[in-house]
């Protein structure tokens, strides 16, 4: 019995110990020729190097940012040197950034949180309690919280609807955040949207018009299990926490490769290896998190004029397709609206965002929620929701901080994306709402 108790105690202790990244570097390569792009692809595919790509090799003159573990740093830099590829060290020791972030988090008294507090990244339960408080006490009857199911580990997946005079034909906008666990700035941005839509109603004419005209469905955290895991155990975890009894013990699926649009295709951009950060899962919509979102959207899909799935980082505004290089039927309109969004973002704090087709501007993303939301009934890559304006905002920054974006960036990011969101709706209105 004593041995059993000791074993259980050691297991509990191991689960409580946070993974550390001491000595891990963040490097960047700026490719000026196709050779460098292809070499970096090959280098990443050497699995023994354990490279964690933060931005993928995609094109000449597009920076490639990646994390290198301490025990692989010498070997990777040796191979880069031998190949004649120059690199910069963005971060010497990523654990120092995580420690700084942790100091801010631990100093925060979440029991004293106020709605307009946008200077820290919140735990999932605190974030949802705040959302419920907004809905119940600060929304004037214009909000409703909906549970769309539970996550793999049993957490309640909720979204908030904000709108007046709701009916079955009122047009709507869907926004989700936090499908990738380590992208903490995304859920923080969703909470900023909720704040502005609820607190500016009645005092800001444009917000009042928008809430009266449209319903806004906002899902602050698509992947709550992964989000909490990044807070408690492994800060740079990306995937869900589902377990399919992989022989090597690898768990989790990349939620943004699990949707039914070109899922598992041979176009690249997703992996069939369970240990990969871009593992697409054993089947399309294998993850309960993607299933729940699908099942909520499809019955009311004709109401939506636009879909946003918010990510970080890189400062992009992406639109379909990410799965293939095919030109989308409404390419001109997607481009026009995308440009209006990034222009509005720039006008707030001077941040430059690049907009364009995802597969061209960034990289391939087979099975993404963006493409599934856009895909029409009978699309060759799989039927989706048929929402004509589907975008993936990739938030700040361009790699200086990456996923460790300091909390003092939450407010300016929220402000610029809020401007972009409003600009998107106005531009769609100027073109004409989708039928």
What is the token pair recorded at 91?
């971060």
DSSP category for residue 121: P
DSSP category for residue 279: B
* Alpha helices (runs of H) in 138-257, residue ranges in sequence order: 185-199, 205-213, 224-232
What is the token pair recorded at 321?
């397709």
Alpha-carbon distance values, 206 to 87, 203, 307 (Å) = 47, 9, 20
The dihedral through the CA atoms of 116, 122, 126, 129 has a sign that is positive
User: Strands 64-68 and 25-29: what pairing?
Assistant: antiparallel
CB 370 within 8 A of CB 255: no
The closest alpha carbon to 58, from 370, 275, 358, belongs to 358
CB 145 within 8 A of CB 135: yes
Phi-psi label, residue 268: left if phi above 0, alpha if psi -120 to 50, beta otherwise: left
CA distance 178 to 303: 23
CA distance 176 to 385: 15
CB 304 within 8 A of CB 174: yes
Q: What phi and psi, each to the nearest 5 degrees, are found at residue 145?
A: -95, 135
What is the token pair recorded at 294?
């699908």
CB 192 within 8 A of CB 158: no
Look up 100 and say whether it is catalytic.
no
First-last CA distance in the chain: 68
- Which is the catalytic residue, given 284, 333, 394, 404? 394
Active site residues: 394
């Amino acid at each position: 019995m004593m041995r059993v108790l000791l074993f259980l105690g050691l297991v509990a202790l191991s689960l409580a110990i946070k993974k550390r990244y001491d000595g891990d570097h963040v490097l960047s390569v700026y490719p000026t020729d196709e050779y460098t792009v292809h070499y970096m692809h090959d280098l990443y595919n050497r699995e023994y190097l354990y490279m964690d790509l933060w931005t993928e090799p995609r094109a000449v003159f597009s920076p490639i940012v990646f994390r290198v573990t301490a025990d692989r740093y010498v070997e990777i830099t040796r191979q880069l040197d031998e190949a004649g590829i120059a690199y910069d060290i963005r971060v010497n020791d990523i654990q120092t950034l995580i420690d700084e972030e942790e100091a801010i988090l631990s100093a925060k008294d979440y029991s004293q949180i106020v709605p307009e507090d946008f200077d820290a990244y919140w735990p999932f339960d605190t974030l949802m309690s705040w959302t419920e408080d907004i809905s119940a006490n600060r929304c004037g009857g214009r909000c409703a919280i909906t549970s769309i199911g539970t996550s793999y580990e049993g957490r309640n997946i909720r979204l908030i609807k904000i709108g007046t005079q709701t009916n079955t034909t009122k047009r709507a906008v869907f926004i989700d955040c936090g499908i990738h666990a380590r992208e903490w700035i995304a859920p923080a941005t969703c909470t900023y949207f909720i704040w502005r839509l609820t607190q500016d109603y009645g005092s800001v004419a444009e917000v009042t018009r928008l809430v009266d005209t449209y319903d806004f469905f906002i899902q602050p955290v698509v992947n709550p299990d992964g989000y909490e895991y990044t807070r408690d155990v492994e800060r740079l975890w990306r995937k869900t926490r589902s377990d399919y009894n992989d022989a090597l013990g690898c768990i989790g699926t990349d939620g943004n490769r699990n949707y039914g649009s070109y899922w598992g295709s041979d176009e690249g951009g997703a992996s069939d290896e369970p240990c990969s950060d871009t593992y697409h899962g054993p089947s399309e919509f294998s993850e309960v998190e993607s299933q729940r979102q699908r099942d909520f959207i499809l019955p009311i899909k004709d109401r939506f004029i636009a879909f946003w799935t918010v990510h970080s980082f890189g400062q992009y505004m992406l639109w379909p397709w990410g799965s293939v290089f095919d030109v989308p039927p409404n390419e001109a309109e997607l481009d026009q609206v995308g440009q209006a969004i990034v222009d509005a973002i720039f006008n707030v704090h001077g941040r430059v965002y690049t907009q364009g087709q995802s597969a061209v501007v960034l990289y391939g993303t087979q099975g993404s929620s963006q493409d599934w939301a856009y895909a029409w009934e009978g699309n060759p890559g799989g039927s989706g929701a048929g929402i004509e304006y589907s975008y993936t905002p990739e938030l700040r920054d361009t790699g200086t901080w990456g996923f460790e974006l300091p909390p003092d960036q939450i407010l300016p990011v929220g402000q610029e994306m809020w401007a972009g969101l409003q600009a998107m709706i106005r531009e769609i209105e100027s073109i004409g709402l989708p039928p």
